[in-house]
Amino acid sequence: MRSWREARGRAVAAATLAAATLLTGCTGLFQRAMPEQPQRYATVVPATAGVRVGSAERDITPTVGGYLGGFDIGRRSTAVSSPLKLRVLAIEVGERPFVIVGIDNLGLLREDVDWLKSGLPGCRNGDVFVCASHTHAGPDLIGLWGFYLWTSGRDRGYLASVRDALAAAVAEARQNAVRAEFVHGRALLPPTGLVRNSNRAGVFDRRLLVLQARAMDDGRPVGSLLHMACHPEVLPRRNTTISADFVGALCDEWRRRGHGQAVFVNGALGAMISPGFDPRTPAGVEEFGRQTCDVAERALTAAEPLPIDAVEVRRADLFVPMDALGFRLGRLTAVLPREVHDGHARTTVGFLRLGAFEAALVPGEMEPALAEQLRAQVARPDLVIFGLCDDEIGYLMRAEEAADPEYAYELSMSACFDAGERVRRALSGVR
């Protein structure tokens, strides 16, 4: 029976590719016109009276049996290895909330992120930053990993439950917010043993960042941002269990060590930054979390005060051609619910500034060399990359990597050949 199913799957895949070949000139029906001017958003809110900070989390573990995002098409979950979470850090300046969200998922589409944000009373869309961890053991919220692109892997009911969880977590974080001050520290991951670049040996961002808010009255931690760049793929391709991978283990270990709520945001993880770690098992996930928490604690020990004079946000819409075969076919078969504007997807780029801390808002998986190019171009050597922020348009590479046959897979999972360069130029313009 299994061999028959595998043969049927191969036949469907072949038919899918044949259809795509015939239809490569079309991105899909029901397209919209490109706007004359992309929308922009900018705000600066002085923090003369200080800031209030709160945090919260919610369990968003789905029921077993749904499609998992990433790795192979048609992969269904069979059990739960670790719970999935949605984690929130809310920073209030007066009555104005700015919210950083970390969600255990491969990635979300811009249209769905806008819908999630619309359920947050009192929050402006541009002031909320939804960052996917990129775990490959969570539900497919994009749609491409269903049954060979004939059925979507996306469960709209699950997405609705995520929206409810986000609203509840933000409400709790804001309700519990207290006057706080920030500290900011960095430490380096080891050069080998934890993280690796499987395409370019040794080329990855070793910095692990901790941004912690502490209550003004007693110094207790009221929320922490943990940031590093790595695919959460300790569990291997053959895995069929639901898991937050090392992100959940790291955040849970952070809490166990007395540091309170953590919110994880990934960095320049593209092409191809992943765990260089064994064993590739749930026990290995926990050990990876413990070892990265050791590094995070070193960063916290070295942390220095981060005065917040203001919170600043700058954003701009960017329209990226949807040239990748999988994206085109996903649109044509209606498994990818992406709006298209004259063959382009609408995404967003921007910057968030908290005092001297500044992060670039990147809608996909930026590779580290492109991140360094961006830092040099905007003259910000310590610029933090918020990867998979508010969208997932795939790998973002320099032109030389996109043209390199070694990156053929990464190029196939990018919206277009020069998606990375388009994002870099757009960020330079916003800066």
> pLDDT class for 325, splitting at 50, 70, 90?
confident
State whether residue 6 is helix, strand or coil. helix
Are the C-beta atoms of residues 266 and 387 closer than 8 Å to each other?
yes
- The per-residue pLDDT for range 61-106, each reduced to its tens digit, is 999 999 999 999 999 999 999 999 999 999 999 999 999 999 999 9
**Residue 324, pLDDT above cutoff 90:** no
Tell me the mean pLDDT in the region 175-182. Answer: 98
- Specify the pLDDT at position 1: 36
- Specify the pLDDT at position 232: 98
Q: Which helix (H) or strand (E) holds 428?
A: helix 419-430
Tell me the mean pLDDT in the region 175-194. Answer: 97
Tell me the mean pLDDT in the region 286-306. Answer: 98
**Residue 38, pLDDT above cutoff 80:** yes
> pLDDT class for 318, splitting at 50, 70, 90?
very high
Q: The tokens of 196 are what?
A: 């690796």
Report how far residue 359's alpha carbon sits from residue 352's, in angstroms, rounded to the nearest whole number. 5
**Residue 264, pLDDT above cutoff 80:** yes
Are the C-beta atoms of residues 64 and 77 closer than 8 Å to each other?
yes
Strands (E), 254-324: 262-266, 273-275, 304-306, 310-321
**Residue 2, pLDDT above cutoff 70:** no
Spell out the residues 6+ positions from residue 27 whose beta carbon is closer than 8 angstroms to its own: 322, 327, 328, 331, 340, 343
**Residue 283 phi, psi dihedral angles, 5° rounding:** -65, -35
Report how far residue 339's alpha carbon sits from residue 111's, in angstroms, rounded to the nearest whole number. 8
Tell me the mean pLDDT in the region 310-339. Answer: 90
State whether residue 214 is helix, strand or coil. strand
How many C-beta neighbours within 10 Å does residue 385 have? 26
Higher pLDDT, residue 37 or 13:
37
Q: The tokens of 41 are what?
A: 């958003």
- The angle that helices 282-301 and 245-256 make with each other, rounded to 10 degrees, is 50
Nearest of 380, 357, 352 to residue 307 by alpha carbon: 357
Per the prediction, the chain carries an average pLDDT of: 92
How many C-beta neighbours within 10 Å does residue 99 have? 24
Running DSSP on this structure, what letter comes out for residue 425?
H
- The per-residue pLDDT for range 27-36, each reduced to its tens digit, is 555 688 999 8
Tell me the mean pLDDT in the region 268-281. Answer: 96
**Residue 430, pLDDT above cutoff 50:** yes
Percent of the chain with pLDDT over 90: 87
Does the predicted model carry a pTM greater than 0.85? yes
Lowest mean pLDDT among 27-31, 159-163, 265-269: 27-31
DSSP characters over 80-104: ESS--EEEEEEEEETTEEEEEEEES
- Specify the pLDDT at position 24: 39
> pLDDT class for 337, splitting at 50, 70, 90?
confident
**Residue 372, pLDDT above cutoff 60:** yes
Q: Which helix (H) or strand (E) holds 12?
A: helix 2-22
- Specify the pLDDT at position 300: 98
**Residue 200, pLDDT above cutoff 70:** yes
Quickly tell me which residue has 């590779």 as its tokens: 367
